[in-house]
Structure 1
Amino acid sequence: MNIDAPRIGVIGAGVVGLTVADILQKTSKANVTVMADGFGEDTVSAVAAGIFRPGTTFRGPTKEITKKWINDSWHYWQDILKSSEANHAGIFSFNCYVYSTQSYQATRNRLIEDLVPYYKEMTEDELRIAGGEQKYGSCFSTVKIGCDNYLPWTEKRLKRNGVRIVREKVESFESVKKKYDLVFNCTGLGARYLCDDENVVPIRGQIAKVKAPWLKASFYSDYADTYIIPGIDGVATLGGVRNYDSYNKKFNKHDAAAILERCYTLLPPLRKALVVGHRVGLRPHRDIVRVEPEILGDLKVVHCYGHGGYGVTTAPGTALHAVSIGMDLLRTKHKL
């Protein structure tokens, strides 16, 4: 530990918090500590399907900033994908097919159509081959970030490179102000209480896990948030539900039955797949994702939370922005 270096705390060990810590460790000489009361499987990130597919409910303060966050995230994930660590990090590439019975616009993703290497509107022949009642479709190349791999992989590297990992529930900023020169708040839904931010709202999600090693692409339908996403370990994620302002973390058998039936209808071969589990998580949604500084007395804070269902997709872009803000706050006191 460099006793002359700034002391930086990161609150939260989900995909956003660990990515912020990773960027800090790589780009500064600071002494970094990650504090959280939940790690790995105890985080909502571990429930996420992890596909890079930002949606229209993900918004920054401006369209330009939102697009930059998405673009920066894509390139961050691509750098890992192209490295020898891709498998260890749980990152792999595949094609995604988005279908609709209503309109082409329901399948179009303007946020990434100029970013990913392959993006096209599906032809009538391609839709006919796909079968079912789908009348419109888009196909594009993307990646999955499996947090069951990415979180422990990142945590291990952080520890190896001198970052402290502490199991601690931070109840207030007052409790950490004497320990750190700068704190990053990456608490997701916890920010509703830590910051008294009622703009953070839980959106309940439930998914099923099935063994489908033959699945090499992902599929979406505009009917009731239906999606099918492959896994690097051959276990696919089937979803889903979006229950706004719900704090219910209990498994719901009716949701499970509906998810499975919708996914079976979208991709009939899944009926033969073995169901190996179900997961429930609360997505931390905020109308505008909060990435901004705040001075609380003597403590400098940078907030980075409210990503909703797109935390895995956009964690790197928002983390890079947050770290840049934090470094600006410190430069007046520390030479980095």
Structure 2
Amino acid sequence: MSDLKIAVLGAGVVGSTTVIELKKEFRNASVHIISEKFQNETTSFVAAGIFSPEGGNLAETEQRTRKWLDDSYNYWNNIRLSPNSQKAGVRQLSGYVFSKDHPHIVENPMLEKIVPLYRSATKDEMDMYPGGWKYGCYFTTLQTDPTRYLRWSEIVMKDLGVNVERRRIKSFAEVRNDFDVVVNCTGIGAKTLCEDKALFPLRGQVSVMRAPWIEEFVFGEWDTYVVPSFDTVILGGCRQYESYNTSVNRYDALSMEERCTNMIPSLKKGQIVERRVGLRPYRVPTRVEKEYRCVQSKTMKIVHNYGHGGQGITFAPGTSLDAVRLVREMLTEKQSKL
């Protein structure tokens, strides 16, 4: 398949991972990544990167969701165990989830089946953090720092010979018609690109702090969390449904920083270095499927891979591997049926 041409739209963690896996699967193919935004311009850049499914099914079935989750954990863990772990920004991290009133908040059946450690938090552990917590769990999971991973993935793509194009795609008609398959990883951009009424932005904002003494993550209620990364600590957060505001809101910042410092008072000694905003692409179910679309009187073969909401980093490898499988199916169908 040396004459095979594949385009991937979108360069967040989902798009970048999809490109790398496509190039591994089709080594002699010409693979292009086309995006208006790269690295710190993407929504992925805002994420804290904790591997933790949020509950419910990301896919249309529990079986497919579990497959994505298992594949993702194995993918990230293999990077963690490789010599590239530091450059790629993948490591193990432990911490707590607390709640005052709702025991189900600290329960995560899908996660506890896959991580190496998952247990109830003791009363002494809950008392270490102000908040009057009644329920809690402690677990060890994986963290992928998007700043490092996106930089590393660009290096990998360059080494694999991937063609990089920086431009905005407003419609599929703007994609060259000589591509055999187009893979759509545009995140919230798919709302207009695909006219997808099931896709909505879920606005998030975080504050980035220097606080090197923080070594464990802590999640509380009202979407409050403190997550140490490799060089900084991420304070969050908020989930504002159907908000397209990409500007930093000072009131959101003050609210989340106050909630976080109330939970971990030592953060008052930290230094805020940056505030970030991203629009999570929320869709039920996440769209990973094939489509044959008529574009300028020609049939375009498209594989969609978008709509992960706030779980893009957790599920990116699993849905990307599934998307590669669908690309293979489309190429087989091209030879046999089309």
Q: 1:51 deviation in Å?
A: 1.0
Per-residue CA deviations over 1:256-286 (Å, capped at 9, x if unaligned) read 1111110011111111111111111111100
Q: Is the 8 A contact 1:226 1:240 kept in 2?
A: yes
Q: 1:168 deviation in Å?
A: 1.7
For the residues of structure 2 that align with 1:129 and 1:283, how far apart are their CA atoms?
Answer: 32
In structure 1, the residue matched to 2:250 is 253
> 1:1-336 alignment to 2 at 5 Å?
4-29=2-27, 30-56=29-55, 59-176=58-175, 178-222=177-221, 224-233=222-231, 235-297=232-294, 298-333=299-334
Which letter maps to 1:166? E
For the residues of structure 2 that align with 1:319 and 1:24, how far apart are their CA atoms?
Answer: 9
Q: Is the 8 A contact 2:100 2:131 kept in 1?
A: no
For the residues of structure 2 that align with 1:33 and 1:302, how far apart are their CA atoms?
Answer: 14
3-state DSSP of counterpart to 1:111: helix
Per-residue CA deviations over 1:2-36 (Å, capped at 9, x if unaligned) read 7x331100000011000000101112232100000
Unaligned runs of 5+ in 1: none
Q: Is the 8 A contact 1:9 1:183 kept in 2?
A: yes
My pick for the range that moved more, 37-46 or 173-182, is: 173-182
Which letter maps to 1:116? V
TM value normalised by structure 1: 0.95
Which letter maps to 2:314? T
3-state DSSP of counterpart to 2:111: coil
Q: 1:174 deviation in Å?
A: 2.3
Per-residue CA deviations over 1:62-111 (Å, capped at 9, x if unaligned) read 11111111111111000000001011011121102000001322111112
Query: How many percent identity over aligned positions?
Result: 40
Q: Is the 8 A contact 1:57 1:287 kept in 2?
A: no
CA RMSD of aligned residues (A): 1.5
Per-residue CA deviations over 1:50-69 (Å, capped at 9, x if unaligned) read 11111026621111111111
Which letter maps to 1:308? G
For the residues of structure 2 that align with 1:168 and 1:277, how far apart are their CA atoms?
Answer: 27
3-state DSSP of counterpart to 1:112: helix
